[in-house]
Amino acid sequence: MVYFIFKRLAQSVFVMLAVAFLAFSLFRFVGDPVSQMTGVETSVEDQERLREDLGLNDPFVLQFARFTGNLLQGDFGFSYRTRQPVAEMIVTRIPATLELGIVALLISLFVGIPTGVYTALRPRGFVTQTILMTTLIGVSIPTFVIGIMLIFLFGVQLGWLPTFGRGGTVQLGGWESSLFTVDGWRALILPALTLGVYQLTLTMRLVRAEMMEVMRSDYIRFATARGVPMGRLYFRHALANTLVPVITIVGLQFGGVIAFSIVTESVFQWPGMGLLFLESIRFVDIPVMGVYLVVIAFFFVLVNLIVDLLYVAIDPRLRIKDVS
């Protein structure tokens, strides 16, 4: 067990290093940082001095080591655009994206798993066919179209829900949360739905496929033959056995949701990391882009580590004996 975690952590370090290298390459190869920072009137000598001061003439490896060292110490540098510390900019944006992602994930799980189970148990029913068809339409439409349609219906036509921003937020320590006000929730619903629809469909179809597979297995047949109550049979026996693949995909997708919430955030003007990233691209704000890359990679690694640990919690066969 300890060995397993250690191995995964070691792998994670390599992934993070690789991403840090990519982020670093952005600085080195996407444009010249000195010309980004200086104006036209800066003399060539001044430029050269700046280059020397910033260590841009040092060997490549040394620069990368310095960059990684700074990252580890939490020194993420300054934004070209706003001259603010990047760390500060990102940290203020993280809560918005995380809350949006988590709520979207919860919607997809709480709707996707039950409908997945239902459609697996009644594979030929009318309701099942309707659900499958609707969700197929759901995934075929791009996220931003769904967002715009939702805005049009609930924001413009019915006027029930706000169409942009986070609504009322509450400061909890350094965490700006919209989960504690009615206004905040009202603002959250539409973007979370938009972001969650694809996840929901995927979860539902995966649960359905896995569940249908498991329902054919010998242990389910045996449990049926012993007269285990149907409710227990479906949820305790069958659903639990579908969870390992479902968690794998949901975990990967959650990383994706955080990373690609960009579209949803821009449709709803949601002040999260995605929106920040878009703005940074527009202004070629390389430090922010680089750090964004590193932060997102960190989320991916973290989620996958949690997924790996969940496997062990779910499946006793993976718990290799530590002793003896």
Partner 1 sequence: MLTVENLTVKFPSRFGDITAIEDVSLCIQPGEIHGLVGESGAGKSTVGAAIIGLLQTPGYIAEGDLKLGDTDLRALDPGEAHALRGKRISMIFQDPQTSLNPLMTVEDQLIETIQAHENIGTTAARTRAIDLLEEIGITGAAERIKSYPHQFSGGMRQRVVIALALCTNPELIIADEPTTALDVAVQSQVLDLIRTLADTRKIGFILITHDIGVIAQISDSVTVMRRGCVVETGKTAQVLGAPQESYTIGLMDAVPPLDRKLRRFRVPEETHDSDGSVSRAEQWLLQGQQQSEIGLTIDALQVQFPGVRTSLFRRPEPFTALHSVSFEVKPGSILGLVGESGSGKSTLAKAITGLVPPSGGEMKLGGDPLPTGKARGRRHPSRQLIQMVFQDPYSSLNSRHRIGDILSEPLWLYDLVQDKDERRALAADMLDLVGMAPDAIDKYPHQFSGGQRQRIAVARALLARPRFLICDEPTSALDVSIQAEILNLLKDLQEKFGLTILFISHNLAVVRQMADDMVVLRHGRIEEFGPSEVLFETPQASYTQKLLELTPVMPKEWNSA
Instruction: Tell me if 244 sits within 8 A of 308, measured CB to CB.
Output: no
Nearer CB in complex with partner 1: 166/237: 237
Residue closer to partner 1 by CB (options 17, 230) is 230
In the chain, the largest separation of any two C-alpha atoms, in whole Å, equals: 87
**In angstroms, what is the minimal distance from the CB of 226 to partner 1?**
4
**Who's near 37: CB < 8 A, 6+ residues apart?**
50, 80
The count of C-alpha atoms lying within 13 angstroms of the C-alpha of 105, restricted to the half-sphere facing its C-beta, is 20
Residues 70 and 30: beta-carbon distance below 8 Å: no
Nearest approach in angstroms of CB 210 to partner 1 is: 13
CB of 310 to partner 1, least distance (A): 13
Strands (E), the chain: 170-172, 175-177
Residues 209 and 113: their CA atoms lie apart, in Å, by: 11
- E-assigned strands of 26-179? 170-172, 175-177
Closest CB to partner 1 among residues 49, 221: 221
Whether 311 and 318 have beta carbons less than 8 Å apart is answered as yes
Nearer to partner 1, 44 or 225 (CB): 225
Instruction: Give the DSSP H or E segment for 41.
Output: none
Nearest CB to partner 1, comparing residues 10 and 137: 10
- Shortest Cβ distance from residue 206 to partner 1 (Å)? 18
Rounded distance between C-alpha atoms, residue 224 and residue 160, angstroms: 48
Q: How far is the CB of 225 from partner 1 (least distance, A)?
A: 4
Which spans of this chain sit near partner 1 (rule: CB under 8 A)?
A: 1-3, 6, 217-219, 221-230, 232, 236-237, 240-241, 314-317, 320-322
Question: Looking at beta carbons only, is 282 or 321 nearer to partner 1?
Answer: 321
- Residue 295: count of CB within 10 angstroms of its CB: 24
State the minimum distance, in angstroms, from the CB of residue 16 to partner 1.
21
CB of 205 to partner 1, least distance (A): 22
DSSP helix/strand/coil, 2? helix
- Closer to partner 1 at the Cβ: 213 or 279? 213
Strand ranges in 157-263 using DSSP code E only, listed in sequence order: 170-172, 175-177
